[in-house]
Structure 1
């Protein structure tokens, strides 16, 4: 003879079945999916950065000079190439910390040069000084290497569409009188941490999912 559970009497509250919470689960899964998508995006950025570094290395190996670009942005095919400009006069100095070609520290003397009656001018790194005192350099023909300028848009500015075209800079082969030659940046100096970022996003997604599953299982067991 089998027995059946007593039916609830009229007016008695019935406890709902306990299971996985729907809304929190949806929110957690959406967050995990977002983190996985960010990890995949970082892997794509890794491939793009590797191709860009390879292009810069080929540029640096070329001995032929190119005409310095008049307006930003500078095409990637011209970065780390040899070029020359005529600085009619330095209109502004932008001293920044840097190193010379022997690894010694100092102050990079970056001149914003006038090259004509109009235009944005050209940034020229004419050497390393021991202090912030501008050199007595009045301009002239500068031969050197085209590199990215010191002011580059941030990631947030690029993602939000507020980035302005970045100016390039010419690092002089021969420094101005009284200065030491500045170290020339190379493609090898470019950071490529996108694989590490991708792994971090995947780990965050896995940890968030594991913590949520453990928390819900404990809640159900209670």
Structure 2
């Protein structure tokens, strides 16, 4: 029975490793799409659905912030690479849907004032499956934030695959050593 359990566990780990190899290929294709987006001259409409968000990433867009719900500061980098604060506005659009606008960068986390309105920039990732508009030009008297860059998106799937294969090999080695010990004690 132990052999069946170990064999099933090893098979599952190998399957997971192969799945991660497939995910690595998918992620590489996604990153290539993102790189192509950087070169597109045309603007895209502000995305509303998950599918639209994926297609809009790293492209120019614009929106009108009808109401600013809040503005906070988070760690961020300026266009020139300085570490400081990204000032992020939580907006409500005219149709009532929410939007996140990265207004700009400063070395000071103190609150900035911004009344909303039309803003253009680049669509970048925000949180899990969300997007934000990185204002370009910056708003509220701030400096330019670093533009979203697809090179910042990790593609760790190949290393995850190697981990699963190593787990499978380790399980096999441990099981063989346990069997050897059992056979020696029986002899």
TM-score, normalised relative to structure 2: 0.92
Matched-pair contact (CA < 8 Å) for 1:71–1:120:
no
Which residues of 2 match residues 98-117 of structure 1 at below 5 A?
98-116=76-94
Alignment pair present for 1:137 and 2:114: yes
Matched-pair contact (CA < 8 Å) for 1:74–1:167:
no
Matched-pair contact (CA < 8 Å) for 1:60–1:81:
yes
Give the length in aligned residue pairs. Answer: 185
Check 1:115–1:144 CA distance in 2 against 1; reply closer, same or farther (3 A cut): same
Map of 1:155 onto structure 2:
none
Map of 1:65 onto structure 2:
43
Distance 2:27 2:109 in 1: 35
Check 1:218–1:203 CA distance in 2 against 1; reply closer, same or farther (3 A cut): same
Deviations 1:72-104 (A, max 9, x none): 553422111111111223111242111111111
Alignment pair present for 1:181 and 2:158: no
| Structure in which a larger fraction of residues adopt strand | 2
Which residues of 2 match residues 197-212 of structure 1 at below 5 A?
197-212=160-175
- Give the superposed CA RMSD: 1.5
Tell me how far 1:71 sits from its aligned partner.
4.5
Matched-pair contact (CA < 8 Å) for 1:127–1:180:
yes
Matched-pair contact (CA < 8 Å) for 1:46–1:195:
yes
List structure 1 segments (4+ residues) > 4 angstroms apart after TM superposition: none
Alignment pair present for 1:92 and 2:70: yes
SS in structure 2 at match of 1:138: coil
Deviates more, 1:203-212 or 1:66-75: 66-75
Tell me, which stretches of 5 or more residues in structure 1 are unaligned? Answer: 1-22, 153-165
SS in structure 2 at match of 1:122: strand
Which among 56, 61, 65 is matched to residue 78 of structure 1? 56
Matched-pair contact (CA < 8 Å) for 1:72–1:168:
no
Distance 1:80 1:28 in 2: 46
Map of 2:101 onto structure 1:
124
Distance 2:71 2:130 in 1: 15
